[in-house]
Amino acid sequence: KHYKHLFVFESEIELFILALSTIDLSEELKVYKIVLFDCVAKDLEIQIAMIFDQQSILEYLSLYEMFISSHYYLKYYETSILSLNELCIKSASVAIRNADITCFLPLLTHGQFLQNIPSMLESIPFQRILSQRKNKFENAIVVSAGPSLAKQLPLLKAYQDKAVIFCADGALSMLEKEGIIPDYVTNLDFTDLAMKFFQNKENLKQSIIALECATHPNIVRSLNAENCMIVLRNKALYQRFNLNDFG
């Protein structure tokens, strides 16, 4: 009762079966109070990473500690236990780092959102686009930057008039070289490095640029145009501003 979560590692799965046949742990397993791991599973590291990334577990990872239930295990499996403990510490460190528990990133993006509100109020309301363009096309194509994109460009060019094209900003320059005009260009960067993707302003006039509400203000200002749409996040922190037309 003193621990938020217990992770049990065992190589003999039969012992898990025996334990679960004598005691009902369904509720504890359902909410991750107890998590069972096969410590010889090939994808053990992936399993640990996925569990440690759960919000209910993540906030307690800094308190992680390995307990050995029996001297028998320590005597015969010390090397395996130390290796497993190292893996857990590594996975916990990665999860904590990615979560940014210092709250730096959430505070940064919220501050950028506040700076973007004036531009949002002057941009195209997201709900208007939905009402005007919903069900206009049966097909949509989502284009992202990647090594295989170049091979797909001839096919995309042939079908560009038969579908709505959503393009990530990083792929925009490749489409421009082929004369492909996307219907929507998306951006959600919290840094202003993506400004380089929007250098050719003339080619952007036929597309709607959809910016996430916490996009870096420098990008918003550089694209201060009639065809910009700043989309509000679907989270309570942002919804409380009652800017419902924009999200």
Per-residue pLDDT of the chain (247 residues; tens, 9 = 90+): 567 888 999 888 888 889 889 999 888 888 889 999 998 888 999 999 999 888 888 878 888 888 887 888 888 888 988 999 999 999 988 887 777 656 677 778 888 989 999 999 999 999 999 898 888 888 899 998 877 788 889 999 998 888 999 999 989 989 988 899 999 999 988 888 888 888 887 878 889 999 999 999 999 988 876 789 999 988 777 888 888 888 8
**Other beta carbons less than 10 A from residue 196's beta carbon:** 10
Report the C-alpha gap between 108 and 93 in whole angstroms: 22
CA proximity to 227, closest of 246, 211, 213: 211
Q: What are the backbone angles phi and psi of residue 85, rounded to the nearest 5°? A: -65, -40
pTM: 0.58
Would you state the pLDDT for residue 167? Answer: 92
Token pair in block for residue 247 = 């999200």
Helix (H, G, I), strand (E, B) or coil at 231: strand
DSSP single-letter state for residue 233: P
Ordered DSSP codes for 156-206: HHHHGGGSEEEEEGGGHHHHHHTT---SEEEE--SSSGGGGGG--HHHHTT
Helix (H, G, I), strand (E, B) or coil at 88: helix
Would you state the pLDDT for residue 165? Answer: 93
Would you state the pLDDT for residue 230? Answer: 92
Q: What are the backbone angles phi and psi of residue 136, rounded to the nearest 5°? A: -75, -30
CA proximity to 227, closest of 182, 189, 194, 191: 182
Q: Are 144 and 168 in contact (CB under 8 A)?
A: yes
**Strand duo 140-143 + 34-38: pairing:** unpaired
